[in-house]
Structure 1
Amino acid sequence: MSQLNRLGSAPIGKLLINMTLPACSGILVLMMYNIIDTIIVGQYAGAMAIAGMSVVLPVSMLIPTLGMGIGVGASSIISRSLGAKDFKTAQQAFGNALSLAAVVCITVSVLCGFYATEILSLFGGRGEILPYAMEYYSIILFGIPLLGSWMCMNNMLRAEGLTKYSVIGMCLSSAINIILDIVFVIYMDMGLKGAAIATVISQLAALVYLVLFYLSGRSHLKFKRQSFKWDKAIIRETLSLGASTVGRQGSGSAMVVLLNQSLYLYGGPVAVAVYGVLHRIISLLFVPIIGMTQGFLPIAGYNYGAKQYDRVLEVVYKSILFGTIVSATLAFLAWSFPEVLIKLFTSDETVLELGVQGLKTITVLMPLAAAQNIAAGYFQAMGKPVAAFILTISRQVLILIPMLYLLPQMFELKGVWLAFPVSDALACIVTLTVFARELPKLKAAQQEVMLQTT
């Protein structure tokens, strides 16, 4: 049975696990090299080096996310087109996405290079943090178009259910990054500069692997010259569907601006370094939520395109259930052993003390994010970009940013940490309320299909 047939006929529970585990593995591998990168830098270059990386991270991820958003938008078109056996549209979406992602990421990267100091200052690179941030950013910027193109291709690979090859590419990139980190940072004592060079080389390796994979002919999608000619309708739909992904990262970057300013105001440079550590830990805890969402999207999109609405409902419910259980377990472990996790990155006692308080507060309602992400992802899989975009940014823009402004005024640094669980709770309530109103439409569509087949 081909992977496309499995998306429409295999048992949902087993299929969801089979799609989620490779996605989680790939994200985990990708996340681990970022975490190990931070551990090595923290242990060998100090807490301020972590603060510098933390300032650069949202900038260096925002630009590639433009490529990822294009890939996510195209993957929605691809999965629905494959489900409807419309291979021509799937191929056109693939080619359009690749060329668009390359143009966008290169253009924005060049612009960001001209305004490096202003951008880093906006994201919290001030005082003693700025030299560290500038050293890292000046090199990382060269790899950003590579990462954006890779993210675009990686998402379209998952649209076909070919998650195994996506994971292989991530593993290759991570292994190269970790090895080069050890060589450049530890043995050659190159500090942040060495870590940045290692990252760029690993990003190039990941992109080359995916290009070679598509050239091998193992995908339904090919590098065809005619598919690179932009189709206005496909470009428009790709951008509208990918907007929620870009909005999520863009809102995250906007949030970091206010977050770093609040951290610096109420806790100084050390508080910025603390969040640099906490961000890595929290990102690791979010892997099952992200992986479940990525595994859910092609299943829901394919079955929606095939008008198998009962399977769409089933995958939504099971994704929320599985995601909540796993994330609750991980949040409990983080709450129980915060010191162990933070000491992996630094032995600084001040960072440890502030970090324990922050980690416990931030993760207290984290399991609610599973339901919120899946429910928001549902609208993306169904090709409903407006709802997907609004619900996606609800947590990090519509709710979290106001909370980051209000709560620190009342509780100072503790208020910064409290903004996260408050946002988790309110975003979950809003998203599930909107999703609940959508369910009758899906059930009615299923009833109509049943009547037509009887």
Structure 2
Amino acid sequence: MKGRTKVKKEQDLGSDNIGKLMFTLAVPAITAQLVNMLYNIVDRIYIGHIPEIGSAALTGVGICFPIIMLIMAFSSLVAMGGAPQAAIAMGQQNNEKAERILGNCFTSLLIVAAALTAVFLIFGEPILRAFGASDNTIGYANDYLQIYVIGTVFVQIALGMNMFITTQGFAKISMLTVVIGAALNIALDPVFIFVFNMGVRGAALATIISQGVSAAWVLKFLTGRKTTLRIRKRGMRIRPKILLPVLALGVSPFIMQSTESLLSVVLNTSLLKYGGDIAVGAYTVIGSVMQIVNLPMQGLFQGAQPITSFNYGAQNFDRVKKSVRLLTTTAVIYGTLFWLALMLAPQVFVGMFTGDAELTEMTVWAMRIFLAGVFAFGFQGAFQNSFLALGQAKVSLLLALLRKIVLLIPLIFVMPLFFENKLFGVFIAEPIADITAALVTTISFLTWARRNLNRTKTEI
């Protein structure tokens, strides 16, 4: 049975209709990301509606967002570097190598989790101060962080190892990983926050319990009989020849997410300087809305990745091109529709997080500026993730650096110099960087594909 399952799965990825395959793999991944979106923002929705302190508490938890993103970035360093490598190895009919990649990634995630937990438990408060926490918000931020980081090991396993479930084609199992945790989090949040009157501490506790259950689900599957690749003791010993290529490929998504953390720090400190806590609170809401836009798109990218990686490993370049074309078209349509919704009715999204009139007014104004380039996300994300799926670590890394490090962070400091309204200058930096980066990424991928995906097997 095990052998037949492997053959069937590989035959599907290598020969089934691309649209059908992408639908089959992407729908569970998108569903998982939609639920993951709730996982990530439900705390903020509940916290923002705590009587009397909701606005300040929401801003305080928003200060923790760069740290949460950094923790998630380390799971991407390992898993998003390892999962495409494992898929390519499976396409080459080398499941033994794929299992060694899986085992090395699991051990690495455990080491990373231990290190991150120690750092943020010891240095959490000064880091939060440096990230933009004021005297009014530091208490809420520190209360949330000190509990959240205890569950770092659960985050690394639930997010990181779940990628290896998706990349084997078990999309529904991968979806359930997120659904189980998110449903539990949504149920526990109001109990801990309001019934037990724990406030932001209750939100953090509900989150780590939920992540722990998700992590247990992932480990149960990857050590069970249904999986094609299994976590085995012999594969867990770190081998540089296995791990270094994984980390080289994973550097790109790591930088994409860790620079999101750096970006949040730069934005929080600039907004605090020019607009105070109310401006930082507005960005907290906008960041949550960006997750509503981005996470389902990430599910689409995850659904396409096994198809692209497997067929690239099998040197079936026609199917690689079809996969990328369908991915790009779908992502661009999605991004454009969301852009229209955000420009026409931002108050609908803002109302999910706060009922405070002053914060709502500021956020609605800022959202139309900050998210004016959302229509370009489809091009940027589709081609960036296609480079990643194809194992092109260096190119993917350079493009990851472009948008945030080369363009956006400098623009945040420069643009206020040209406007009387300094806050407008800070917010307008985002769409300028988004559109420019999308244009460069599109040209780069089309140029690379013309040179590398028009060959036949005999030319390689």
Q: Which band: TM-score by shorter chain?
A: over 0.9
Does residue 34 of structure 1 match 2:44?
Answer: no
| CA distance, structure 1, for counterparts of residue 234 and residue 440 of structure 2 | 43
1:121·1:130 contact (CA, 8 Å) conserved in 2? yes
- What residue number does 1:428 align with? 438
Distance 2:332 2:359 in 1: 30
Q: 2:377 aligns with which of 355, 369, 378?
A: 369
Structure 2 residue identity aligned to 1:309: F
Asked whether 1:320 is paired with 2:331, we answer no
Q: Structure 2: which 5+ residue stretches go unaligned?
A: 1-6
Structure 2 residue 300 is matched with structure 1 residue 292: yes
Could you tell me whether the CA contact under 8 Å between 1:303 and 1:309 is conserved in 2? yes
- TM-score normalised per structure 2: 0.95
Determine the C-alpha separation between the residues in 1 that align with 2:341 and 2:160.
Answer: 33
CA distance in 1 between partners of 2:296 and 2:68 (Å): 23
TM-score norm. by structure 1 comes to 0.96
Q: Distance in 2 between matches of 1:393 and 1:148?
A: 23
Equivalent of 2:81 in 66, 69, 73: 73
The 10-residue stretch of structure 1 (292-301 or 239-248) with the greater mean CA deviation from structure 2: 292-301
Residue matched to 2:17:
11
SS of the aligned residue for 2:136 comes to: helix
What letter matches 1:15 in structure 2? L
Aligned match of 2:191:
183
Using the TM superposition, give the Cα deviation of residue 64 of structure 1 relative to its aligned residue in structure 2, in angstroms. Answer: 3.3
Instruction: Give the number of aligned pairs.
Output: 450
Inter-partner Cα distance in structure 1 for 2:322 and 2:341: 29
5+ long unaligned stretches in structure 1: none
**Deviation at residue 187 of structure 1 after TM alignment:** 1.6
In the aligned structure 2, how far is the partner of 1:111 from the partner of 1:36? Answer: 26
Tell me if structure 2 keeps the 8 A contact 1:55–1:124.
Answer: yes
**Higher mean C-alpha displacement, 373-382 vs 161-170:** 373-382
Alignment map for 1:222-241 (pairs within 5 Å): 222-241=230-249
Note the C-alpha offset of 1:288: 3.4
1:12 partner amino acid: I
Distance of 1:63 and 1:281 partners within structure 2: 20
* 1:192 corresponds to 2:200: yes
Q: What letter is aligned with 1:53?
A: V
Distance (whole Å) between structure 2 residues aligned to residue 322 and residue 310 of structure 1:
19
Equivalent-residue separation in structure 1 for 2:335 and 2:454 (angstroms): 32
1:211 counterpart = 2:216: no
8 A contact 1:51–1:272 mirrored in 2: yes
1:53 paired residue number: 61
- % same residue: 28
CA distance in 2, matches of 1:384, 1:68: 16
> Offset at 1:36?
2.1
Q: CA deviation at 1:393?
A: 2.8
Q: Which residue of the other structure, out of 342, 355, 363, is the alignment partner of 2:350?
A: 342
User: 1:277, 1:201 → 2: CA distance?
Assistant: 24
Q: How far 1:450 sits from its partner (Å)?
A: 7.0
Determine the C-alpha separation between the residues in 2 that align with 1:127 and 1:291: 38
* Cα separation, 2, equivalents of 1:147 and 1:20: 22
* Partner deviation per Cα, 1:45-83 (whole Å, 9 max, x = no partner): 411111111111220231232123201111011100111
Look up the match of 2:282. Answer: 274
**Alignment deviations for residues 267-303 of structure 1 (CA, whole Å, 9 cap, x no partner):** 1001111111111111101233212221222111100
Q: What is the aligned counterpart of 1:89 among 97, 103, 128?
A: 97
SS of the residue aligned with 1:114? helix
What's the offset of the Cα at 1:135? 0.8
Conserved 8 A contact 2:29-2:299: yes
Aligned twin of 2:159: 151
CA distance in 1, matches of 2:211, 2:72: 11
How far has the Cα of 1:442 moved from its partner? 2.3
- Cα deviation for residue 451 of structure 1 reads 7.6
Match for 1:305: what amino acid?
A: G
CA distance in 2 between counterparts of 1:14 and 1:85 reads: 23
1:127 match: secondary structure? coil
- 1:399 maps to amino acid: L
Change (3 A) 1:405 1:207: same
Q: Secondary structure at the match of 2:391?
A: coil
Q: What is the one-letter code of the residue matched to 1:355?
A: T
SS in structure 2 opposite 1:2? helix
Amino acid at match of 1:390: L
Instruction: For residue 443 of structure 1, report the CA deviation from its aligned partner.
Output: 3.4
The one-letter amino acid of 1:422's match is: I
SS of residue in 2 equivalent to 1:265 = helix
1:139 alignment partner AA: I
Per-residue Cα deviation, 1:117-160 (whole angstroms, up to 9, x for no partner): 22111211122111111111111110112101221101111111
Kept in 2: contact 1:65–1:148 (CA 8 A): no
**Inter-CA distance 381–425: structure 2 relative to 1 (3 Å threshold):** same
SS at match of 1:220: coil
Residue 300 of structure 1 contacts residue 381 of structure 1 at CA under 8 Å; is this kept in 2? yes
2:140 is equivalent to residue 132 of structure 1: yes
Partner residue, 1:304: 312
Give yes or no for the alignment of 1:24 onto 2:46: no
1:396 lines up with 2:404 in the alignment: yes
Counterpart residue type for residue 36 of structure 1: V
Q: Is the 8 A contact 1:64 1:147 kept in 2?
A: yes
CA deviation string 1:295-324 (max 9, x = no partner)? 222111100001100011111111111110
Are residue 442 (structure 1) and residue 452 (structure 2) matched? yes
